[in-house]
Amino acid sequence: MTLRNESLTAAFDPRLFRENSQAAVAHLESHLSDLSVRGLELTDPVVLSEAARALMTTEQESVAPFDEKKLAAILELYVKTGIQVHSPGYMGRQFSGTVPLAGVIDFVSSVVNQPSSFYEAGQLPNVAERIMADELNRFIGWEAGRFAMVTTSGGSLANLTALLAARNRAFPGIWSRGETGGARPAIAVSEDVHYSVSRAAGVLGVGEAQIVRLPVNRSRQIRADRVRGALAAARDRNLKVFCLVASAGTTEIGAFDPIDELADVAAEDGTWLHVDGAHGASLLVSDRLRRKLRGVEKADSLTWDAHKMMFVPAPCTLLFYRQAHAALGAFRQRASYVFDEEPDAYHGFDGGDKNFECTKRPMIMPLWTLWAMYGRALFAEKIEYLCRLTQEAHRIISDDPDFETLHFPEANILCFRYRPDGVGDDHVHRLQLQIRNQVRVGGRFFISKVNIEGVAALRVVLMNHQINGEHFRMLVDEIKRVGAHLLTKRSGR
């Protein structure tokens, strides 16, 4: 018996699929062609909810007939209410306007729907993962055939997975019996480590008091000379540090911890070194910038977000392990429905035993396709441009007495404060928060903010090669206009 239902058949009609896709593509083409300076049109959530609810079908009993106008309205609403990541006004966060071809492949992924944790469900994605692992490992430098890579849904999950593998290596009895042999598991991290690392610690039962915070220097890099002492002090507290985490590109200012020196300390101590390169690992593909991650080949694991500086749709994270067997240490499960008792030739390509997800997007496909079609230079040239542009932005800020610079940019993140003469310590924090919010409401620029040593700063992340120095000057003018207005209002209180 076959289910015959005209409306159901119509919803799956390949011709309708083509028409819908063409409508979406035409809409996106004009969206991408619009290079006007704009940030975010922030909509009241109540108003947006109403607009979205108005698009819901009231039909409950049968499949609603297709409504072209409704689809057009959904597309319009979706595109319009997003942060305009392809515009030169977007300077705020670490996800990027994607290379358009990456979007095309992501769209194909959604249609062919090949979840990629197991080879049989995603053959090309699993092969592409291997190829990309080998390609990118050329810049990491691990022994071919001995390292491993899995993709994970985001850097936070990669950090958690790496910490899990590190913990299981240090405490062999913990997975099966929950035993730590009397010592309390601990990790050592920079003061500026991304919150996903301390969150992962919490998930692993490593309490706040078991997180050893390592001091940083003026460039906000971990002070390698202080790590031995910190580890010894931790031992005296009956803490066993199973993982030392270095950041390759901190979220706040894009600082790179001294991996080479930290690796030596970790090796001496028998501690796993994890490099959180969610933001900055992509600099490895540039001959000019690779040195920022000097020593990465000595690390045990590395998180690398391609949805940040490789300009592909989120999420796409690569988690590398120096030793393939360490990758298997993260999880130990029996599940007869997926893990075969008699592994065959295909099993070696499965990622399911090494990554957290069971069903997982074939997130490697956009990255692999770009790499296959354009090669490394697409990424290297864009990253180098963005880092040079950030240095130019730093010069512009340094030359303007109304601004306070806070660091030299090591990558494409720049933090600074608007602080003309007369703005006292008591007001500077609040002023930056107000400026950031007002600039966002203005809708022309989207920037972020961050606290540095407890005081707010404006934060710019340059992810778009269509931004130039002139655009940055326009942002500076906007900040000065908004800032001056806020100061006048305050003085007239």
Binding site for ligand PLP (CB under 6 A): 94, 154-156, 159, 194, 196, 247, 249, 251, 276, 278-279, 305, 315, 317
Min dist. Cβ of residue 37 to ligand PLP (A): 24
Quote the least distance from Cβ 196 to ligand PLP, whole Å.
5
Structure tokens that stand for 341 in this block? 């008792």
Exposed / middle / buried, residue 473 (Cβ in 10 Å: 0-12, 13-18, 19+): middle
Give the whole-angstrom CA distance, residue 55 versus residue 71.
Answer: 9
Q: Which is nearer to ligand PLP, 292 or 419 (CB)?
A: 292
At residue 417, what are phi and psi to the nearest 5 degrees? -125, 145
| Closest C-alpha to 316, from 47, 128, 45 | 128
Apex CA 84: angle with CA 80 and CA 85, to 5°? 140
> What is the rounded distance in angstroms from the CA atom of residue 22 to the CA atom of residue 75?
12
CB-wise, 155 or 366, nearer to ligand PLP? 155
Least CB distance to ligand PLP at residue 134 (A): 23
Of residues 277 and 329, the one with the C-beta less far from ligand PLP: 277
Residue with tokens 């990027």: 96
Nearest-approach distance from CB 386 to ligand PLP, in angstroms: 15
Nearer to ligand PLP, 278 or 415 (CB): 278
Query: Residue 88's Cα: distance from chain center in Å?
Result: 20
Task: Determine which helix (DSSP H) or strand (DSSP E) holds 231, and give its type and residue range.
Answer: helix 227-236
- Residue 233, SS3 per DSSP: helix
A 10 A CB-CB count for 391 gives: 14
At its nearest, how many Å lie between ligand PLP and the CB of residue 172? Answer: 28
Cis amide leading into 315 (omega within 30): yes
Using the minimum distance from each CB to ligand PLP, give the nearer residue, 210 or 251: 251
> Contact, 327 vs 166, CB < 8 A?
no
- Measured from the CB atom, the residue of 251 and 432 that comes closer to ligand PLP is 251
- Closest contact distance (angstroms) between CB of 214 and ligand PLP is 15
- The nearer residue to ligand PLP, 150 or 431, going by C-beta atoms, is 150
Cβ 277 to ligand PLP shortest distance, Å: 8
Q: How far is the C-alpha of 341 from the C-alpha of 179, rounded, in Å? A: 27
Report which of 102, 126, 159 is spatially closest to residue 310, judged by C-alpha positions: 102
Q: Answer positive or negative: Cα dihedral of 64, 69, 75, 78.
A: negative
Q: Which is nearer to ligand PLP, 190 or 286 (CB)?
A: 190
Q: How far is the CB of 348 from ligand PLP (least distance, A)?
A: 27
- Integer Cα distance of 306 and 309 in angstroms: 6
Smallest gap from Cβ 220 to ligand PLP, in A, equals: 12
Report the C-alpha gap between 489 and 427 in whole angstroms. 13
* Chain position carrying tokens 């796993």: 272
Compare residues 315 and 483 and give the one whose CB is closer to ligand PLP.
315
Q: Toward ligand PLP, which CB reaches closer, 117 or 251?
A: 251
- CB of 248 or CB of 456, closer to ligand PLP: 248
Instruction: Find residue 417's DSSP bridge partners.
Output: 404
Is the Cβ of residue 239 or residue 306 nearer to ligand PLP in the bound state? 306
Closest CB to ligand PLP: residue number: 155
Tell me what percent of the chain is helix, strand and coil, each rounded to the nearest 5: 50, 15, 40
Nearest distance in Å: CB 413, ligand PLP: 9
Cβ of residue 98: shortest distance to ligand PLP, in angstroms?
A: 15
Hey, which bits of 263-370 come out as E strands?
A: 272-276, 301-305, 317-321
Strands (E) located in 191-294: 211-214, 239-247, 272-276
Report how far residue 332's alpha carbon sits from residue 327's, in angstroms, rounded to the nearest whole number: 11
Residues 6+ apart with CB under 8 A from 111: 17
CB of 7 to ligand PLP, least distance (A): 40
